[in-house]
Amino acid sequence: MSGEKPRTMLATKALVKEFVEMEPVPYDRPLSERRLQVYRHVLSRGEFRPVTWASVHCHETNCVYRVNGKHTATMLSTMNPIPEFYVTVERYVCDSLQDAANLYNTFDSKMATRTTNDINWAFAATIPELKDVPKRLINHTVAAASYKKWGDKGKDVPAAERAEELMDVYPFALWLHGVLGAGSGGANVTSKHLFKQPVVNAMMATYDRLPQKSKEFWEAVKTESDPDRDSPTRTLARYLIRASLAGGSGTHSRGSGKKLVDPREVYVKCLHAWNAWRRGERTSLNYHANAPIPDVVR
């Protein structure tokens, strides 16, 4: 792989036209109109930093492919005049289509914003219903939607593609805010044990089954309000209060009294508690690392 030195410049009509009409690298994801809507919103707020547009000349096919810049170039192509917009242009040369695909996979749709959180919030800003939902819950919702769709492989999906899921699942963010309470943007003591990503993943799984019953269940886990000390909600609450997410070592963190647990274990035990609650049973939240993740009962 070789190439020219990257150059940062103002986007011109000619440059925009070149990248819009350029052959996409094979297996490029399709253009998303919803993402274009978000990008226009970000641009209107003056929040874009210089983006990267990249191409690669492949010797195997003697073709120049676009490997990054599809959405921002398309957005600018609809504007007349083109606003002041800085682009870092990278041009590469490679031997094979596999090399081109490998290069494509190094790019993440970061919209040139600073963090993944910025991207999540940019998408949320285009959904009026989410204006009062704390940013922390927006991030939890995006992560839960990513886990629901891609599982553990979601961490390899571009940030903007993960955030785009918010457009479909934003009612869950409203529901989540209702369950966790008005103070859920910060360290809400009464629901602190629920602020673990695998717990929110499980909340989405149960919400997808029965939203109202799911709210009843998780509020009971939050408040430990069931008079039966051995009810699934109280059993789960005690476990979550003691659990601290880690790499799955199963040891106790020094001096904290908390048990370090793997995120998968937390997720599975949440589902065990829900299933037992729906069946009117008790549960010991038994977990076996090699066992499949249980189905979520209605």
Name 260's bridge partners. 244
Antiparallel, parallel or unpaired: β 243-245 and 2-3: unpaired
Query: What token pair was written down for 203?
Result: 């909340």
Least confident of 57-66, 222-231, 258-267: 258-267
Per the rule left: phi > 0, alpha: psi between -120 and 50, beta: everything else, 257 is: left
> Residue 134 and residue 280: Cα distance in Å, rounded?
34
Q: How far apart are CA 259 and CA 239, in angstroms?
A: 9
The two beta strands, 7-10 and 243-245, are: unpaired
pLDDT digits (tens, 9 = 90+) for 168-217: 999 999 999 999 985 555 545 578 999 999 999 999 999 999 999 999 99
Q: How far apart, in whole angstroms, are the C-alpha atoms of residue 239 and residue 217?
A: 15
Q: Which of 144, 124, 148 is nearest to 196 (CA)?
A: 144
Domains and CATH numbers, the chain: 2-104 (3.90.1530), 116-279 (no CATH)
Q: Tell me the per-residue pLDDT of 21-70, one tens digit each, with 9 for 90 and over.
A: 999 999 888 999 999 999 999 899 888 888 999 999 999 999 999 999 99
Q: 270, 273, 271, 293: which is closest to 283 by C-alpha?
A: 273
| Average pLDDT score, the chain | 90
pLDDT of residue 252: 43
pLDDT for res 186:
53
pLDDT of residue 278 exceeding 90:
yes
DSSP string of the chain?
A: -EEPPPEEEE--HHHHHHHHHSEEPTTPPPP-HHHHHHHHHHHHTT-PPPEEEEEEEETTTTEEEEEE-HHHHHHHHT-SSPPS-EEEEEEEEESSHHHHHHHHTT----TT-SSHHHHHHHHHTT-GGGTTS-HHHHHHHHHHHHHHHHGGGGGGS-HHHHHHTHHHHHHHHHHHHHHH-TTTTS--GGGGGG-SHHHHHHHHHHHHH-HHHHHHHHHHHHHT--S-TTSHHHHHHHHHHHEEE-SS--PBPTTT-PEEE-HHHHHHHHHHHHHHHHHT--------TTSPPPP---
Section 90-103 average pLDDT: 94
Which residue type is seen at 126?
T
Is the pLDDT score of 247 beyond 60? no
The rounded distance, in Å, linking the Cα atoms of 220 and 238 is: 12
Confidence of residue 244 (pLDDT cuts 50, 70, 90): confident
Q: Are 163 and 120 in contact (CB under 8 A)?
A: yes
Distance CA 19, CA 75 (A): 11
